[in-house]
């Protein structure tokens, strides 16, 4: 990628400002030095190292867009995208922890939190509190607004009952942006967002999933049994949770695009290196045109995915409508990640199929890009709707 720092007009999308280069290089160095040595063990055990999460906070990666007055970095959304890409190049689980915190949870507080909620929660989110975003349930995934978790107002508290499924970060999180309905008969207009703290009575983190990929990222069920949530913890307006969910996920998708871009890059870099080392027929396999073309194709697709992800992020920061571009970036980056990581295994030959080499993990980690924060079919539906004006 060209590194030249140019004036701030009509720049190529991949040009970064001096601040962005510095930020990206810091994250890259951290990922190489601190994260990479722990990746294999965390994947095997299915547990993310808590010390690393503390380091994410110390590096300012958990409150990138939180204003300095609340202890955050006062950064831009684009920086969050760079962080997710760089971390995911080494480990997609690290990428998603930072992604959910910034693009979903902090984002929800920043856009819909009132002054008191911001004062109470943002300093924690920036310094030591991991967050999670709880929308999905067993019966409501793509059809998210069919959720069944109920919230009933009793005095000064809402009483929540129901179960959430697939919630990323839930083992590590102390704070949950959680969606429930105050009136099931009102359909999506009953959906309301609540801020739930882990130690609220009636709240339990349930079974942890044993997954194919992003194994170190925790994915758990949440159980709400007469869970008391103060009325003051309604985020935004009662009945407007659907809007919060739609709009946070629109931004979150660019983050998943960045995660998949990082995954593809990580696998591609390994494949390029290996192709130059591995000898068959008396020469490095990179000497064969068949391998060269595969590597060229992978690089081209990664570049296209990067342009889409960066463009969507820059559009978001510029205040330009970006929903279609975000859906396209997520859809395409997930597809690229799957193709590139699969080819990386093939370039490694039999070795790539074993856990002694790093590429099979990238392939396992790539699969989730097509599923969470809206499946590929749901991205296609969004894009089609916007293209066709329906």
Ligand X SMILES: Cc1cc2nc3c(=O)[nH]c(=O)nc-3n(C[C@H](O)[C@H](O)[C@H](O)COP(=O)(O)OP(=O)(O)OC[C@H]3O[C@@H](n4cnc5c(N)ncnc54)[C@H](O)[C@@H]3O)c2cc1C
Residue nearest to ligand X (CB): 141
Q: Which helix (H) or strand (E) covers residue 303, if one does?
A: helix 289-318
Nearer to ligand X, 92 or 159 (CB): 92
CA distance 303 to 321: 23
Min separation Cβ 356 and ligand X, Å: 25
Nearer to ligand X, 8 or 390 (CB): 390
Nearer to ligand X, 97 or 238 (CB): 97
Answer yes or no: are the C-beta atoms of 202 and 227 closer than 8 Å.
yes
Min separation Cβ 370 and ligand X, Å: 8
Min separation Cβ 7 and ligand X, Å: 40
Which positions touch ligand X (CB under 6 A)? 100, 133-136, 141-142, 166-168, 211, 214, 219, 368, 371-375, 377-378, 381
Min separation Cβ 262 and ligand X, Å: 16
Question: 269-275: which pairs have CB atoms within 8 A and are 24 or more residues apart?
Answer: 269/89, 270/344, 270/348, 270/358, 270/359, 270/362, 271/295, 271/298, 271/343, 271/344, 271/347, 271/348, 271/359, 274/347, 274/348, 275/347
Nearer to ligand X, 144 or 343 (CB): 144
Tell the residue number behind the tokens 């990746």, with chain if given. 39
Min separation Cβ 202 and ligand X, Å: 20
Min separation Cβ 130 and ligand X, Å: 12
Per the DSSP assignment, residues forming a β-bridge with 150 are 161, 181
Query: Annotated catalytic, 373?
Result: yes
Spot the catalytic one: 221, 325, 338, 373. 373
Q: For residue 146, which of 132, 127, 162 has the smallest C-alpha distance?
A: 162
Please provide the DSSP assignment of 225-282 as one string. EEEEEEGGGEESSTT-HHHHHHHHHHHHHHHHHHHHHHHHHHHHHHHHHHHHH-EETT
DSSP structure class, residue 209: P
CA distance 125 to 21: 25
Answer yes or no: are the C-beta atoms of 194 and 149 closer than 8 Å.
no
Q: How many CA atoms lie within 13 A of 31 on its CB side?
A: 24
Q: How many CB atoms lie within 10 A of CB 304?
A: 13
Nearer to ligand X, 173 or 285 (CB): 173
CA distance 278 to 147: 52
Min separation Cβ 107 and ligand X, Å: 13
CA distance 350 to 225: 50
Q: How many CB atoms lie within 10 A of CB 375?
A: 15
**Which residues are marked as active site?**
373
């Amino acid at each position: 990628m060209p590194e030249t720092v140019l004036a701030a007009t009509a720049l190529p999308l991949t040009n970064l400002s001096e601040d962005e280069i510095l930020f990206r290089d810091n994250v890259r160095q951290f990922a190489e030095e601190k994260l990479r040595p722990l990746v294999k063990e965390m994947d095997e055990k299915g547990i993310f190292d808590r010390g690393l999460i503390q380091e994410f906070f110390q590096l300012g990666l958990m409150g990138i867009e939180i204003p300095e007055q609340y202890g955050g970095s006062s950064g831009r959304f684009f920086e969050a995208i760079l962080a997710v890409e760089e971390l995911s190049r080494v480990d997609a689980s690290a990428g998603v922890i930072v992604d959910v915190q910034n693009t979903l949870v902090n984002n929800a507080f920043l856009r819909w939190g009132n002054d008191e909620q911001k004062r109470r929660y943002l300093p924690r989110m920036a310094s030591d509190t991991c967050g999670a975003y709880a929308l999905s349930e067993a019966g409501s995934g793509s059809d998210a607004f069919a959720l069944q978790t109920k919230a009933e107002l009793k005095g000064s508290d809402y009483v929540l009952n129901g179960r959430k499924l697939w919630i990323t970060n839930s083992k590590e999180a102390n704070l949950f942006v959680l969606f429930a309905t105050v009136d099931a008969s009102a359909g999506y207009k009953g959906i309301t967002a609540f801020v739930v703290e882990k130690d609220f009575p009636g709240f339990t983190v349930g079974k942890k999933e044993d997954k194919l990929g992003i194994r170190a990222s925790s994915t758990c069920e949440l159980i709400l049994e007469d869970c008391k949530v103060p009325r003051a913890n309604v985020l935004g307006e009662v009945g407007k949770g659907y809007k919060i969910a739609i709009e946070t996920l629109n931004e979150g998708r660019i983050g998943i695009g960045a995660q998949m871009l990082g995954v593809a890059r990580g696998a591609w870099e390994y494949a390029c290196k290996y192709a130059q080392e591995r000898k068959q027929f008396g020469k490095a396999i990179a000497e064969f045109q068949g391998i060269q073309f595969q590597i060229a194709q992978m690089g081209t697709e990664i570049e296209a995915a990067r342009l889409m992800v960066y463009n969507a992020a820059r559009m978001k920061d510029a205040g330009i409508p970006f929903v279609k571009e975000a859906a396209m970036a997520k859809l395409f980056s997930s597809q690229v990640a799957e193709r590139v990581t699969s080819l990386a295994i093939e370039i490694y030959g039999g070795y790539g199929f074993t856990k002694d080499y790093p590429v099979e993990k990238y392939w396992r980690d790539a699969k989730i890009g097509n599923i969470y924060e809206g499946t590929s079919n749901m991205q296609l539906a969004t894009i089609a709707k916007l293209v066709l004006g329906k």
